[in-house]
Amino acid sequence: MDVLTLSIGMLSIAFGSATHLLRIKSPETVGRLGSMRARFGDRAGMAVHFIAYTLMPLLFGILLLAAGSRGHALF
């Protein structure tokens, strides 16, 4: 197990989860969401924000956890 890779994976998952919860509970506190909604429209702005700030960090974190648990050091 590589501790650094596992730690960064957990932080990435925590970031993606926190962003998702903040967007659901109080979207006005999420800084970039307002500008993305203004630029792309409500629906597309929410989709772009979801992909960039929730989906990608969650997938990256899962990949890092899988690699770190197998002993691969990615950093």
Tell me the pLDDT of the chain (75 aa) as tens digits.
889 999 999 999 999 999 999 999 988 888 888 889 999 999 999 999 999 999 999 999 999 999 999 999 887
The model carries a pTM of 0.88
Which pLDDT belongs to residue 27? 83
In a domain? residue 65: yes
In a domain? residue 74: no
In a domain? residue 32: yes
45 lies in which domain range?
A: 3-69
Rounded CA-CA distance 8/5 in Å is 5
In a domain? residue 30: yes
Q: Which two tokens stand for residue 18?
A: 């926190």
In a domain? residue 22: yes
In a domain? residue 75: no
In a domain? residue 42: yes
Number of domains making up the chain = 1
Which pLDDT belongs to residue 66? 96
Q: Which two tokens stand for residue 40?
A: 């792309």
